[in-house]
Amino acid sequence: MRRARREGRCRQSGFTLLELTISIGLLGTIMGLMYQTLSGTIDNRNVVQDSLRGPKVANAILAQIFKDFRYIYWGGFVGDTGFRGKAIRLAGMDADRVSFITARRTRTIGSEEDGRRATRERESPLTEVGYACRPHPQFGQWLELWRREDYFVDTKPTEGGFYTLVYDKIRSFRLRFYPKPEEAVDREGLEEWDSALKKGIPYAILLKIEFDVTEAQEGVEYEEDKIDPIHRIILLRGGYNVAWGDDPTPGK
């Protein structure tokens, strides 16, 4: 009799199949809700990070470009060379190119042979600078924006030099060149500008740039309206002269 009572209590203290099924179902529901909450939190975090990353990328790109244009140099080159802007399309995207002379110090060390020179021998009061786009080597929906620099200003100031990557997820890089207001024919601007033909540099440049901030992934398609294009007006200061050699007096 006592043994039967003990066995009965053991059977009553256990879980039935129905109770186990209900418990597993509740546990699965709770885990699903937790996963949805965690996934939503991660997605919201990524959205916030992307929204913050966009202005940072724009500021970094524009700050570099504006610094180069701020100290643009013009005058004294054979054949009035020294500034060239060209309209280019790559893979259906605007990929314009511009080259000019700036009074900023060089940021690159040159080629391997030049690297053996002392730093003071690489310094120059003028530097060849340019911006150009190249197709992205892996993702066809993007371009790469590169900065050209050559600390040795020669008779072809819009050619040669060394390239450093500025940003690798560019959708559009468009430039429009404007002459002085009294010389302007229309408000659309010019797609190309060659100082050797124009006998001077533009009065202003309208820059339009579009880019993505998401990380590159194979097989991922991106929305076309993910970020609004950025427009900036660059006013140029023509006739900027820099002292050469030991003469501290700027040229007139």
As a whole number of angstroms, the distance between CA 32 and CA 159 comes to 60
Give the pLDDT score at 252. 33
Q: What is the model's pTM?
A: 0.70
Cα 149 → chain centroid: 17
pLDDT in tens, 172-192: 999 999 998 887 777 788 999
Give the pLDDT score at 61. 92
Give the pLDDT score at 158. 87
Residues of the chain with pLDDT under 70: 1-15, 38-52, 106-124, 215-227, 237-252
Give the pLDDT score at 180. 84
